[in-house]
Structure 1
Amino acid sequence: MKWHHVQENWSAFYEAILDKWPEAEESELDEIDGDQRAFIAYIADVTEQDVREARDEIREWLTGEIPSDVVMDPSHDNHSISLSSKYVPDGEDEYDDDARFGDGD
């Protein structure tokens, strides 16, 4: 995932952040509000690491999965539906009600 995914859905990442860095505090994350530089500095501080080490650790963390509540956000629905079109038979509309798929009409 990219940082903009994190920044746009900041609060949805709290659980993943707290799982990775249990030393972090939700109130501090509220203050950071998706600011990447502030987050790197904060993680470096709470883990007592060098900023470069914290940045590398965050980069590694970004290779993980996007939390399901971000993926399931309604604002992502049309994108997810359009990606699913490769699994929909020719002549069917991927935006139609799922119950109608494969009905042969």
Structure 2
Amino acid sequence: MKWHHVQENWSAFYEAIQEKWPEADEAELDEIDGDQKAFIAYLAEATGQEPVEIRDELREWLTGEIPADIVMDPIHDNHSIALSSKYVNEGEDEYDDDARFGDDGNDSDDE
């Protein structure tokens, strides 16, 4: 993942940040608001490590995957739909309503 993924979804990353750096405080993370330099400085102070060590840890942490709960956030839906277009037959629109494929109104439990 890239830092912009973290910055754009800052509060959603709190759990992952606190898992990696248990010293991180949620109130302090609110103040940092995705600023990478402020985050590194904060972690250096909170952990007692040198900023260069934190920068290396952060670089390693960023090589991981974006947590699933962030990827599944509805703000990413249109991007995911657009990526799915390669699986949609020519002449069809990936944004079309798919109601005809579901069980809309046809489920016996609805009666």
Q: How would you bin the TM-score normalised by the shorter chain?
A: 0.7 to 0.9
- The 3 A distance-change label for structure 1 pair 100 and 89 is farther
| Structure 1: gaps of 5 or more residues | none
Structure 1 residues 2-81: aligned runs within 5 Å: 2-81=2-81
Whole-Å Cα distance in 2 between the matches of residues 46 and 60 of structure 1? 19
How many residues align? The count is: 101
| Structure 2: gaps of 5 or more residues | 102-111
If the length of structure 1 is used for normalisation, what is the TM-score?
A: 0.84
3-state SS in 2 of match to 1:70: helix
Whole-Å Cα distance in 2 between the matches of residues 89 and 49 of structure 1? 54
Higher-Rg member (1/2): 2
1:88, distance to aligned residue in structure 2 (A):
2.1
Whole-Å Cα distance in 2 between the matches of residues 99 and 91 of structure 1? 18
4+ runs deviating over 6 angstroms: none
Structure 1 letter corresponding to 2:88? V
- RMSD (CA atoms): 1.6
Identity of aligned residues (%): 80
Whole-Å Cα distance in 1 between the matches of residues 11 and 68 of structure 2? 13
1:99, distance to aligned residue in structure 2 (A):
4.7
